[in-house]
Structure formats: structure tokens, C-alpha cells
Chains A and B, each alone.
Chain A
Amino acid sequence: MSPDADPGRADISHGRRIFFIWLVVTAIVTPPVALFVAPYLPPGDASVQANNQQMINNILLVMVIPIILGVVVYVFYSLVVFRDRGDDRPDSPVLRGNRRVTVWWIIGTCLIVAFVVPYGTWQWMGPGVGSGSAQGPKPIATPPGKALEVQVIGQQWQFTYRYPSFGGIETQELVLPEDQYVELHVTSLDVNHSFWAVGLALKADAVNGADNVVFVKATRPGDFKIRCAELCGLWHGQMYQNDARVVPEAEFQTWIKQQAELNEGLLQYLPPYAHIYYPQPFYRGD
């Protein structure tokens, strides 16, 4: 025993004590968080992709709680037990590594990564079908069967939408049928934008000359806010005033028919449907 050690505490195992306090606190805190907080994490459950993202967020939250509690318990334990009692003891001897801690740290980290990587990959490639993230022009994760193709066109400062399955009509509003896979092709007519429908867990950069594909399957009707997530000019902050609307299939068919009638005269002036559009000319000078 070192001459500086506290004789009354000589045989206390602080590590073991911290571990048991952490275990008890974790056992108390984790279940209510998992049961009552996690289900309400964004982005919600309005689409298959949102559901998957929420599940991933839930799992990460539950995994991270013990880690955070470990740090908090250690800090508070140290503040209480190792606080300065005014006896002006010298600093502790320098610690030069602890093989056991190092080994367990590496094993624990590897186990977490070994779980998160395959699970995340499975979520991305499997039931999430891209998990709501864009996959470029040739998507790797694709849904079963044929998806409804809809194009998202970013332009300063509004998104518009084209429906190639219905003659290539263009609309101001994004309306999607419920319970159907939709293949969104995101592009831009001018500067970079980013199409972000947070409630549907969709986010895809809109870049001129690029076709960015993202899949979604909405699971319930409702209105979902769309906003631009890429600084695209002075009015970027106002590029959020048109919502997405998810409706039952019959209502979608009625709406698309009305839009087709409205587009009847316009179609001859729209460019043929394509995944990208280049402006002519590129720039209009003074």
C-alpha cells in the first residue's frame, strides 16, 4: 500500500463498484427509454423507409445509453469518491497502460461494429430498399416488382414533379399513392438543391445533369413537409412551401386524371421526359 493511500479505502475495488452502479442505473434507465422514447424518434412511421430509419435510430439509442451512462457514472463517482478532502495529497502515480482495459475496450468496440455494419447493410439493401437515401442513377437496392416512376425537378426556388407513366405531365404538388413503391428520380434545372421529405425519410441531392434515384413506399395517407436541404441561393430558406401528399390509390387516380387534363395543352411545350435536362443556353449574360 502506498503511503498516500487512504487506509480506510485500501481494499475497495472502485472498478467493481463503478461497474455495479453502472449496471443498476443502466437496468433502470434503458427499458423506459426503449419503450417510451424510442418509438417517437424521427422520422416516424409514415413509410417503410421511415420505419427502418426509426428502427436503426432506436437500436443505436439503446446501444448508446449504456455507454453514456458509463461515462456519467464514472464522472460522478470520481467527483464524489476522489474529491479533494483538503489533505493535500500528492498526485497519484502515472498509469502506463492497462492491458485488461485495452483488450476489453477493443473487444467491445469490435463487437459493436461487427453488429452495426452488417445490420446497417442489411437495412440498406433489404427491406429498407435504400433506407430513403439516394443511390445515384443505377440503384443497387431495388424493390420487388415495378415501382411507379416520379421525377423530382429542383429549380430556384420550387420543386416540381413529372409522372412519366401518365404522359410525362408535370405538377406543382407531389402526390403519391399509399402502399406502393415509388421510384423518385431527382434532378435539377439549375444549381444544386436537395430534396428532403423528412416525414417520409427521403433525402436526395438534386444536381443538374445528374439523375439521383431514391425509393419510397408510403404506408399511410397524410401531408408531409418537403424542403430543400442544400443552400441554393438567397431564397433557399423559403423553398419549403409545397407539401407531399400521400393518398389512397383511388384518390391518386382521380388526382392524376385531373392533372392530365390540366396538362393537355402544356405537354407539347414540355421537353420529352428524360432523367436530366440541360438549359439552353447555359448562361444568359448582360
Chain B
Amino acid sequence: MGTKARGGLVLLIFALLIGTFGVYVAAFARHRPPSVSVVAGEDGVPTLVLQTVGSLGFGEKPDWPSYLVQRSDGSWEQTTVFTLPANSIVHVKVLQYDTQTGLRNNFFGQPQGLVDGAITIDTETVTGSDIVKTFSPDLAAHTFTVPGLEVSVPLVGVANDAPNQCTVAPCDETNAHRTIEFDIKTGEPGRFRWQCFVPCAPGGFLYGNGGPMQTVGFMDGFVDVA
């Protein structure tokens, strides 16, 4: 092979590598979980229905914990990007299927920013500082925390030895679960980041959050108020 041909081959390989890298970066940058709008619940109140699972059970990361959101047709979508109406009270219902992990900072065991300060866990409604008296922060499996809206809600976990635990999402209500319901008030339109503050995946302590804890579509995402 002549010098020119060798040079051309090197250039071609180099161009292919750069092109592949460019396509990968572009695909990564363009990939976003879909945004799901709230559904109209009872009495027409906008209602966001979520479920949290300890392991997704499918896809590229089947062992990662994740959030899922219910579409208006009742199906479940694995995403963490929600659209809520602006200046409205939104009812949030979380079906929590994961087990108890406990918080890195127990401060997030105290619900914050809820309408009337009330939260219903299964059938018990508690308010204000009574919440942590009833449900210890050590029982949290996840949190739903939106710093920009000053909303934070601990999601009580299923007992570690509970029977019939869900292993593949979406889970249904015959699996062991806790039901957490609360109302939040949205303000002006904007995009607000939310995340889970329970170190529910590897990492999560001194070395920080890794894996699902920092990945949109699993344990953090965006609340779009529109």
C-alpha cells in the first residue's frame, strides 16, 4: 500500500471514529424521557399518579429503582418528567412498592410544602410535625423532593419481609405496597428539578449519588409547570 493510500485510510478511520462519537453524543443529548401530563382525577382535580419500584425488571437497567407515571389511559410510563398545570392545586398519589432504606439526612423525613401540611399514608391522614411522630424517617424508601417548589415528601417503604413484593414494573396493587397521597400547589410556569433524597442506589453516602440517583427517568427528573 502506498503512502497516499495509507494516509487516506488513516484519515478515513479517523473520520469514522469522530463521526461515530458525534452520532453517539448527539443521540445522548437528544434522548429524553417523555413528559406525561397529569390526568383529571375525581371532581376534575388534576391528579399525578406515580409508582416507585425497587427494581425496574426490564430494559437496560433492570436492577435500578425507578419512578413510573400513569397516563390518562391507565397505562404506566417509565419517566420522571411531568407536566402540571400552573397556579393549581395538584393531587399526587404515589403507589410505593420499594422497601425501607432510610435517609442520609433525616430532615427529608419531614414533609414540606404540602397543602394544609397534610399527607395520607395508606388510610391514615396526618399533618404538621405529627407526621414524623407517626412515620419515622428510617422507614423511607424514597422521597419526592422539588427544591424549587419547596416541596418534599418522604415515601414510606414496604416492610423488608412483606410477602408478594413486586420485582417487575409496572407493579399492580395486589403487590405489597404503601399508598401515599398529598396535595401540592403549583405557582407560575417554569421547569423545576426534582429528585429522591434517599440513597436508594449504590453510592449515596460520602461519595455521592450515582447510577439511578442522578439519571433522569429513574430517581430524578423535572416538573414542568405550564
Contacts and interface: CB of A to CB of B under 8 A. Distances in A.
Given A155-B105, A241-B148, A242-B148, A266 B208 contact: no
B5 interface: no
A172 B104 CA distance: 15
A234 B216 CA distance: 10
Nearest to B128: A262
B127 to A, nearest CB: 11
A172 B207 contact: no
Contact of B129 (A191, A242, A262, A280): A262
A265 B193 contact: no
A146 interface: no
B147 A264 contact: no
Contacts of A271: 106
Contacts of A156: 208-209, 213-214
Contact of A264 (B106, B129, B145): B129
Interface stretch (B11-19, B39-47, B51-59, B195-203): B195-203
B166 interface: no
Chain A contact-residue range equals 35 or more
Given A153-B105, A235-B195, A283 B145 contact: no
Given A242-B150, A266-B109, A233 B208 contact: yes
A135 interface: no
Chain B contact-residue range equals 35 or more
B150 to A, nearest CB: 5
A155 B132 CA distance: 21
Interface string A206-250: 001000000000000000000000001111001001100000000
Contacts, number: 107
Nearest to B192: A241
Contacts of A285: 202
Overall SS of chain B's interface: mixed
A172 B129 contact: no
A190 interface: yes
B141 interface: no
B152 to A, nearest CB: 7
B183 to A, nearest CB: 17
Contacts of B105: 153, 155, 160, 189
Q: From B130, B193, B213, name the one whose CB has the most chain A CB atoms within 10 angstroms.
A: B193
A281 interface: yes
A271 B147 CA distance: 22
A281 B106 CA distance: 15
Contacts of B197: 155, 158
Given A269-B137, A282-B205, 15 more contacts: A156-B209, A191-B208, A233-B209, A234-B215, A241-B148, A241-B192, A242-B148, A265-B130, A266-B107, A266-B110, A269-B132, A270-B106, A281-B205, A284-B199, A284-B204
Interface of A: 153, 155-158, 160, 170, 172-173, 189-191, 208, 232-235, 238, 241-242, 261-266, 269-271, 278-286
8 nearest A-B residue pairs (beta carbon): A241-B148, A265-B129, A279-B205, A264-B129, A265-B132, A269-B106, A191-B208, A265-B133
20 contacts: A153-B105, A156-B214, A157-B209, A158-B197, A160-B107, A190-B104, A190-B208, A191-B206, A208-B206, A265-B110, A265-B130, A265-B131, A266-B106, A266-B132, A269-B106, A279-B205, A280-B205, A283-B206, A283-B207, A284-B204
